[in-house]
Structure 1
Amino acid sequence: MQKIDEIIQGFLRDLNCDIVLNMSKSIKTGKKLRSKLILSISGENEESYKLCAIIELIHLASLLHDDIVDDAKLRRGARSVNSEFGTKNALMLGDIFYSKAFSELVGFGKKISQLIADSVSKLAIGELMDIELSKNFNADKSLYLDMIYNKTAVLIEASARSAAILASLDDLSFREYGKNLGLAFQMIDDILDISSDEKTLGKAAMSDFKEGKSTLPYIYLYEALDDKNILLDFFKKDLNDIEKKSLLDEFNKHGILEKSKKEALSYGNKALKAIEKYNNKKLNDIIENMINRSF
């Protein structure tokens, strides 16, 4: 992963802008799921490393814009760029990351370039869908699935498919793997927002609901409750510890988190089924680690 960070820093130094380098230093690059996926499919070589760096730069750009939309103060336990440097600077830094990533992407040829570019368009659409759904409580699971596919899964899907093209493998099988991995990944994120704590998450627990996000566990809880107002009265509210415990008790009472995790696991199994003929242990381990993670 250090090699990928070095390539990203090289991309940014090419821009010859100290402001960009200074702001970039404050960003934690995270788990690099997409890079691990690419390297597990196409192997470790200079071309794969460069593709990883491009994808990570795109992902970082999307997070910068996401934090602006959510007015997030923290990202992975540290101050967000918009909190530390201001919204305008964070917005422009995201645009710079996107632009630089696309300028490097053209070297990979038309098919991969189009795949990644299309995924970024859908990613932005996913963000718009998320904003729209956040206006009111959303109890429609199909709308939630459409939104997380675009906002999260589509870039993971494109990463897997592009890596398969580099390795001359069946890219459609790996598209299915990436899509289902991405859906499962977001579902686990949504569960952890409820079940984990601020120290582990790097942000306040149950912050999704405060921001108006009706994620899968909340949709399932809404379906299970006779008195829907038990949940709706908390929507977009800054909950205190007593209110959070009350809500968590309802999740536990109705077995909602276990039900949600079971659904995430079903998507993980779909991902494994799509590429079972390759018997790739690294890709199997990615699914297992992603499902059983604590942050």
Structure 2
Amino acid sequence: MIVVTGAAGQLGRLVIKALLKTQSASEIVAAVRSPEKAADLAALGVHVRRADYNEPATLETAFKGADKVLLISSNELGQRAVQHRAAIDAAKRNGVQLIGYTSVLHADTSPLGLADEHRETEEALRASGVPFVLLRNGWYTENYTGSLAPALEHGAILGSAGDGKISSATRADYAEAAALAMTRDAQAGHIYELAGDTAYTLAELAAEVTRQSGKKVEYQNLSESDYKAALIGVGLPEVLAALLSDSSTGASKGALFDEGHQLSQLLGRPTTPLATVVAEALAV
């Protein structure tokens, strides 16, 4: 049995969808904080169990009978390392044979602030003695295409990435890779550096949006502090604005770039092209 944590989230739902292509629904557990939000998964025959990272007892129950657990990283910044350790401990007590963890690209060397909690989690996995596979995910293309409306309205994409190359892929690409890693044999010990096949700069992203929309959109490079202020100005919480501006600056240092093609190799197909994702976003 495979348990997927955070299964009601955007990535988690896509992982469940990918797993259902090869696995019986009765062998999949969707571990979610609010089971009522996963009624659609239950309707597919997937087991839905309550699992709150902040309530270790719920993790203990959710992981019962599991052979494998896909630990999708929490979105509670500053709390994740503690939450993840609770999940790892629960998996160990339940005799789980493999933990898959969605980490961040080049977590061991990444300059990104968000990498700190991923490094702590990876260390906790090593200390646990439970076999594990690391899925070090790069940036989501949707991080950019999900906010094209204001870019089109103002004719600008903002950031602090300079000319940094970004090897992004879609959530669906990463979800499919996670499903494959959790269902293939002999995955323990693997560290996958997962990223898109073709890297681009934010100026190139702006050019692609211009090409497809017919409306001139340019990339406006800001200092990290100015970009953070701009994000706060449009309503983002300060902690999220700080993370995004730090990550954008990190891109200028190569933190979001990778040319190893491990994602497409795992998938057995090319990653979803930027042009495709832009087209889908513009069609909404």
Instruction: Provide TM-score, normalisation by structure 2.
Output: 0.34
More helix by share: 1
Instruction: Provide TM-score, normalisation by structure 1.
Output: 0.33
More strand by share: 2
